[in-house]
Chains A and B, each alone.
Chain A
Amino acid sequence: MNISKRQNALLLALLICLPIIALIHLFVGQIDISFTDYFDSIFNFDDRNASHLISRELRIPRMTMAVIAGAGLSIAGLLMQTLFNNPLAGPYVLGINSGASLFVALTIMTGIPFFTSDLGIVTNALIGAFLFGLIILFFSTMVRMQISLLLIGLMLGSFTSALVSLAQTASDAQELKIFTMWALGSLQKVELHQLPLILACFGASILGAFLVVKPLNALVLGDKEARLLGTNIKRVRLVIILITAIITGVVTAFCGPIAFVGLAVPNLVRILFKTQSHAILIIASILIGAMFILLCDIAIQLIEPHFIMPINALTSIIGAPFVILLVLRRLK
């Protein structure tokens, strides 16, 4: 009883902190926007009012995207870690981001207009992410050691970045610009009208994750044990890869590759909650993942007057040492 009480208290604290941090995020930008501006920009929008425009077209989409990217990538990481029985798995290290990047790069550079539209980029990011998910899934059935799969993922990443550079040298200035802008990526690029599509994909993934809670709990014991407990492994694997591909694809399509969130957050969640019950792990990953990216983006906005820090750089600066700590901790 004690354990679940502690977990509930932690969840409640996170649930209270998240909206507070989200609110702080809305108010840290360089231009002062008041609370009434936000209120009016939603319920009383005036497109000649600069404050309204900033809140509605920039701040709200950016805040929403931070929440979705953080929560989404964390869920993707959690699912992959459980599926592959490897706490160091994640969409970035296993090359799911790379798949999305590769497909976006190749299609932007084919010059076909559909592909450079919002829907085109998202579709391609999704296909790339799903395809690379299947590749990793294929390899996972062949390798026995956890470390091998991580190495394969890293190699996939190197391989695709080589292909992307090749495509870049072969493309013209306009295409190169579109791709470079995308690859730099940030939370600021999302526009209000794109949010419904992103929210729909995000919602579908979260829902999907909750639908596989029972198989996830069994998969903790490994494929064989899970099957002995009546889990339909083949189907569950595909569903999990599909969910991670959708969420990683969409986030990568709009924000560029964001590293280490998917790897680090679920580990932090397990350390905090000390459980393998996925209903709790999923909820906590959503909350902590969202808070983590929000906090990163608050920091980025605070140092913006001095220099510009891409979100991917900051998550790597924080995430990589954390992962090293995790590895050292496991070696003990």
Chain B
Amino acid sequence: MIQTQGLHIGYSESILSMDDLHLSNGVHILIGRNGSGKSTFLKTLAGQIPKIMGSIKIQNNEVSAISIEELPKIISFVSSQFPIVEFLRVSEFVGLGRNPHTNFFGKKTNKDIEAIDKALETLGISYLRDRFTLELSDGEKQLVSIAKALTQETAIIALDEPTAFLDYSNKKLVLGKLVAIGQEFNKCILLSSHDLDLSLDVNCPFLVIDDTSKTIRFIEPGISKSELIKIAFD
């Protein structure tokens, strides 16, 4: 689903090179130091910042060649900050995920409404539908953000530190939901995280930013915690 070849990424100058990747369905967890380039990789993938060199393809199309109208139909991005907006209801927020699919006026069809309902249901937050986003707890905000990404009905979901700011039970809940979504809906999910223990528990492949060689390496599930720490943080 995602293919990279000789990819170098960064802002203006190359900060990271990458193993040639070939990612398919399921959850992939991005591990690395603060400032090592996790967000940079996710943003490059989502077309927010241009790559430095090499190739990054989604479903066999170069990311930079996909139009800004088409890209949100293929990849959705959950940023680490939740927007602070007064009077924005959960249903409106999640509904914005339909924007890439609706017509010029943004009119929602039955199909759009179904997608919203289904996303809320999948995450078990249908009861939040009419609440204001400002009134949500951190855990609820994260689930609502993921619901918005789900309504986008993309093959890929990229999440920038979705478990930061959450308590232990919410971290587990969010990660568990993501793994379930990856399996149930056949999506490729990439998320960055600092929660090593939880990440090891879910038994998913890692993308680890090797701090010495400044490369992103693909690591199969089953790696031990000490090895993981050695690659990423020593």
Contacts and interface: CB of A to CB of B under 8 A. Distances in A.
B86 A270 contact: yes
A166 to B, nearest CB: 41
Interface string A216-251: 011011101101111110000000000000000000
A87 B134 CA distance: 15
B89 interface: yes
Interface stretch (A95-103, A256-264, A271-279): A271-279
Contacts of A222: 83
A230 B71 contact: yes
Contact of A214 (B46, B73, B99): B99
A228 B77 contact: yes
B89 A232 contact: no
B89 A3 contact: yes
A41 B31 CA distance: 78
A163 to B, nearest CB: 37
Contacts of B72: 228-230
A54 interface: no
A276 B68 contact: no
Mostly helix, strand, loop or mixed at chain B's interface?
loop
A106 interface: no
B221 interface: no
B87 A276 contact: yes
B99 A213 contact: no
A271 B132 CA distance: 13
Given A225-B83, A230-B72, A276-B92, A217 B100 contact: no
For B87, B99, B100, B104, the residue with the greatest tally of chain A CB atoms inside 10 Å of its CB is B87
Contact of B106 (A87, A214, A232, A274): A214
Nearest to A278: B106
Given A214-B104, A214-B105, A276-B85, A227 B96 contact: no
A35 B130 CA distance: 47
A36 B212 CA distance: 89
A230 B99 CA distance: 7
B79 interface: yes
A270 B100 CA distance: 25
B74 to A, nearest CB: 11
Nearest to A272: B87
A275 B87 contact: yes
A248 B156 CA distance: 44
Contacts of A229: 72, 96-97, 99-100, 152
A182 B213 CA distance: 69
Contacts of B179: none
Interface string B36-53: 000000000010100000
A225 B102 CA distance: 17
A217 B106 contact: yes
Interface string A84-109: 00010000000000000000000000
A116 B86 CA distance: 44
B69 interface: yes
B3 to A, nearest CB: 22
A87 B87 CA distance: 12
A214 B182 CA distance: 30
Contacts of A224: 48, 79
Interface string A1-17: 01100000000000000
A151 to B, nearest CB: 21
B92 A230 contact: no
Given A213-B106, A225-B83, A276-B88, 19 more contacts: A213-B105, A214-B105, A217-B92, A217-B96, A217-B99, A218-B96, A220-B96, A221-B83, A225-B79, A227-B68, A228-B46, A229-B96, A230-B69, A230-B70, A230-B72, A232-B68, A270-B86, A271-B87, A277-B92
12 contacts: A3-B130, A210-B105, A214-B99, A217-B106, A220-B96, A221-B83, A221-B93, A229-B99, A230-B99, A230-B100, A231-B68, A275-B87
Q: A-B pairs with the 8 shortest C-beta distances?
A: A214-B106, A230-B72, A229-B99, A230-B100, A276-B88, A221-B83, A230-B69, A274-B87
Interface of B: 46, 48, 68-73, 76-77, 79, 83, 85-89, 92-93, 96-97, 99-100, 102, 104-106, 130, 132, 152
